[in-house]
């Protein structure tokens, strides 16, 4: 089944048509800058442009950077606070004239990896961490998702919020080398390891493409692997989530 998968991030809104039977993208990925400020109306307008770009009239799945409960946004970190309390399933469906279903972006990436990627067939606890504008997390036990974990917002031992200290956006803003940033990120992984005792940690998001550059700084005993889909996991997982809503 073909579904338009969309990954809505703090800096870019990316989409492609996905074959949900195989997890493969059947089109080139198309990216549009996230509007600033990223208000509900502005983001909905960009999503409509993305749908028009693909000349799409079917089901749309969106990974969205917030906790989402029954289609309603409950948090806002790298988007406008105006989203809180908004039913974005309804808003985006109206803007695109397509049935749209939204899920937390890290949960979407996790769904892709558990279905087709590094987490496929993995028993026990799997923690996926997306490293981008913020830090997103998806937690699975024996393949079952605990939604909306948002563990990028925990406080580290230095008193800072994890994503403000270890995100890829922070690395770029502070012009950190991969070794320095990798040491920072390792402090976050160490806490995650002690709290959840995962059997596997999967890293997605933009920084996952450079895994080899910071892997030497990672000291946790748990196996750590870059996502098979790298930063396309959110697109694939969003499409899978939309299919699950049929």
- Residue 157, classed as helix, strand or coil, is coil
CATH of the domain at 93: 3.30.420.40
**What pLDDT sits at residue 7?**
95
**What pLDDT sits at residue 13?**
96
Q: Mark whether 7 and 94 lie in a shared domain.
A: yes
Place of tokens 């950077």: 65
Q: Which two tokens stand for residue 208?
A: 């996952």
For 171-239, the DSSP string reads HHHTT--HHHHHHHHHHHHHHHHHHH--SEEEEESGGGGGHHHHGGG---SS-EEE-TTGGGHHHHHHH
Query: Residue 242 CA to chain centroid, in angstroms?
Result: 15
Contacts of 174 by beta carbon, 8 Å cutoff, 6+ apart:
none
Q: Mark whether 150 and 86 lie in a shared domain.
A: no
Q: Mark whether 96 and 187 lie in a shared domain.
A: no
Q: Mark whether 220 and 237 lie in a shared domain.
A: no
Query: Residue 109 CA to chain centroid, in angstroms?
Result: 5
Asked if 134 and 63 count as a contact pair (C-beta separation under 8 A), the reply is no
Answer yes or no: is 112 within a domain.
no
**What pLDDT sits at residue 185?**
98
Asked if 153 and 74 count as a contact pair (C-beta separation under 8 A), the reply is no
**What pLDDT sits at residue 205?**
86
**What pLDDT sits at residue 216?**
98
**What pLDDT sits at residue 97?**
98
Q: Mark whether 72 and 146 lie in a shared domain.
A: no
Answer yes or no: is 161 within a domain.
yes
For 103-155, the DSSP string reads EEHHHHHHHHHHHHSTTTT--SEEEEEEESSSEEEEEEETTEEE----GGGSB
Backbone angles phi, psi at 32, to 5 degrees: -125, 140
Backbone angles phi, psi at 192, to 5 degrees: -60, -40
**What pLDDT sits at residue 77?**
80
Range of the domain at 186: 121-227
Considering only CA atoms, which of 6, 115, 117 is closest in space to residue 63? 6
- Residue 62, classed as helix, strand or coil, is strand
**How far apart, in whole angstroms, are the C-alpha atoms of residue 190 and residue 188?**
5
- Residue 189, classed as helix, strand or coil, is helix
Answer yes or no: is 142 within a domain.
yes
Give, for all 246 residues of the chain, the pLDDT tens digit.
999 999 998 889 999 999 999 999 999 999 999 999 999 999 999 999 999 999 999 999 999 999 999 999 999 888 899 999 999 999 999 999 999 999 999 999 999 999 999 999 999 999 999 998 899 999 999 999 999 999 999 999 999 999 999 999 999 999 999 999 999 999 999 999 999 999 999 999 889 999 999 999 999 999 999 999 987 999 999 999 999 998
Q: How many CA atoms lie within 13 A of 62 on its CB side?
A: 31
**How far apart, in whole angstroms, are the C-alpha atoms of residue 146 and residue 126?**
11
Q: Mark whether 238 and 192 lie in a shared domain.
A: no
Answer yes or no: is 114 within a domain.
no
Answer yes or no: is 43 within a domain.
yes
Answer yes or no: is 115 within a domain.
no
Q: Mark whether 211 and 239 lie in a shared domain.
A: no
Radius of gyration of the chain (CA): 17
Answer yes or no: is 97 within a domain.
yes
Answer yes or no: is 131 within a domain.
yes
**How far apart, in whole angstroms, are the C-alpha atoms of residue 241 and residue 243?**
5
Q: Mark whether 156 and 83 lie in a shared domain.
A: no
**What pLDDT sits at residue 78?**
80
**Structural domain count of the chain:** 2
Q: Mark whether 211 and 149 lie in a shared domain.
A: yes
**What pLDDT sits at residue 206?**
84
Q: Mark whether 238 and 223 lie in a shared domain.
A: no
Q: Which two tokens stand for residue 182?
A: 């990798």
Q: Mark whether 102 and 132 lie in a shared domain.
A: no
Q: Mark whether 238 and 191 lie in a shared domain.
A: no
The DSSP H or E segment spanning 192 is: helix 178-196
**What pLDDT sits at residue 214?**
98
């Amino acid at each position: 089944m073909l579904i338009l998968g969309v990954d809505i991030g703090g800096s870019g809104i990316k989409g492609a048509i996905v074959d949900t039977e195989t997890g493969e993208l059947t089109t080139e990925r198309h990216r549009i800058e996230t509007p600033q400020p990223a208000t509900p109306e502005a983001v909905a307008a960009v999503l409509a442009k993305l749908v028009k770009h693909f000349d799409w009239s079917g089901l749309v799945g969106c990974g969205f950077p917030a906790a989402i409960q029954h289609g309603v946004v409950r948090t806002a970190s790298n988007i406008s606070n105006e989203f809180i309390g908004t039913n974005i399933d309804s808003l985006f469906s109206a803007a695109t004239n397509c049935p749209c279903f939204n899920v937390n972006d890290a949960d979407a990436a996790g769904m892709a990896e558990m279905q087709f990627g590094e987490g496929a067939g993995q028993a026990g606890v799997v923690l996926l961490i997306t490293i981008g504008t913020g830090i997103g997390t998806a937690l699975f036990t024996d393949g079952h998702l605990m939604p909306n974990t948002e563990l990028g917002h925990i406080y580290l031992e230095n008193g800072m919020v994890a994503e403000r200290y270890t995100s890829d956006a922070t690395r770029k803003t502070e012009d950190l080398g991969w070794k320095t940033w990798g040491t920072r990120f390792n402090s976050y992984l160490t806490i995650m390891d002690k709290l959840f005792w995962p059997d596997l940690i999967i890293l997605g998001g933009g920084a996952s493409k450079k895994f080899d550059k910071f892997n030497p700084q990672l000291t946790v005993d748990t196996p750590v692997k870059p996502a098979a889909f790298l930063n396309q996991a959110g697109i694939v997982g969003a499409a899978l989530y939309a299919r699950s809503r049929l």
